[in-house]
Amino acid sequence: MTFGELYGHDKQTAILKNAMANNRIAHAYLFYGMEGIGKRTAASVFARVLNCEGESPPCNACTSCRKALHQNHPDIITITAEGQFIKLGAVRELQEQMKFRPREGRRRVVIMPEADRMNAPAANALLKTLEEPSAGNILLLTTSRPHALAITILYRCQHLHFTPLPREEVDRYLREKESLDGEAAAVLAASSGGSIGRALEMKRDDWLRIRNGIIEHLADDNPADLLKRLAFAGRFGTEREEILEGLEILRICYRDAMVLRETRDRERLIFRDQTVLIRAIADRLSGRSLLHNLAAVEAARGAIDQNANKTLTLETMAITLT
């Protein structure tokens, strides 16, 4: 993959290209933004660019690029967490390597995904490296939680903010790289929040089937059927992440119903492929009822986030939905 093949992030790639053109490459970069939007991919491409031997880097054909693509380039190092944390030993080992010149390439490039997972000793050790940068070494830190990094580390990196991708870019990726049909790609792109990684998770986790089941229930809901409502609460699963996923789907359903009720504009919907069922929900519920239900869903999400009893929270929500 080259910079030109990255989906979105034209501004960020332009900044990196300009730094190279003017030979003003920083010794440390922090790529930050929400999960799944291409920070690590951009770091990998930049690492190849910095050591590419071709005329239009990265050429993906020279010895350096081929080694990098096969993840065996001696001067492109990735440091990941061991278990929950990135530990002191990994940073110490890196510091030993950085005492010497790069083995083959022009620069030694160190990529640290999820840099916020460094424990305190590792972060303190890395700070010393950032304070006294050595020639020929470049650090690329990525994180979706920059606030979790020490302020002293933040100060010593050049920041590149990776923003959520436009819906059209996620849609294009899903069609071109995942061979999804137009309708499925459009739905996942609209629901991804601008994250290709998120869209791929939803694709792998059979998200569309779960979503369709929730929408069908809402379109056919009978407030008097208590057993059916309790069964609906069980649809959200038992694990925290899958429950929050289901509640987010539920929130979007009511959001779309509100939008369709007030504007009648199908193009504003996130779940546009289910317009018929969304319209059924919008026609059955008043604006006040939709607002009440949105508040109930948000209350349930907040309770789950606070580790409330999952079953009781979901059953209470299901019964109180108008």
pLDDT(139) > 90: yes
The pairing of strands 28-32 and 137-143 is parallel
- Chain segment 220-259, per-residue pLDDT in tens: 877 667 888 888 888 888 898 889 999 999 999 999 999 9
Q: What is the pLDDT of residue 234?
A: 87
When pLDDT is averaged across residues 22-26 and rounded to a whole number, the result is 91
Contact by Cβ (8 Å): 62, 52: yes
pLDDT at residue number 223: 66
Q: Tens digit of pLDDT for each residue in 28-66?
A: 999 999 999 999 999 999 999 999 998 878 888 999 999
pLDDT band at 105 (very low <50, low <70, confident <90, very high): confident
Measure the CA–CA gap between 297 and 14, rounded to whole angstroms.
41
Choose among 43, 28, 39: nearest CA to 154: 28
- Residue 9 CA to its chain's centroid (Å): 14
Question: Which uninterrupted H or E stretch holds 320?
Answer: helix 310-320
Amino acid at 115: A
pLDDT in the model for residue 1: 58
264-292: pLDDT as tens digits: 998 888 898 899 999 999 999 999 999 99
If phi over 0 gives left and psi between -120 and 50 gives alpha, with beta otherwise, what is residue 286? beta
In angstroms, what CA-CA distances link 101 with 77, 79, 89, 132, 157?
14, 19, 21, 16, 22
> How much is the mean pLDDT over the chain?
91
d(CA 47, CA 16): 11
Give Cβ neighbours of residue 113 (< 8 Å, ≥ 6 apart): 39, 40, 43, 78, 80, 142
Residue 48 to residues 41, 51, 168, Cα–Cα distance (Å): 11, 5, 27
pLDDT in tens, 149-206: 999 999 999 999 999 999 999 999 999 999 998 888 988 998 888 999 989 988 877 8
Q: What pLDDT score was predicted for residue 113?
A: 95
Strands (E), 79-193: 108-112, 137-143, 158-161
Residue 57 DSSP symbol: S
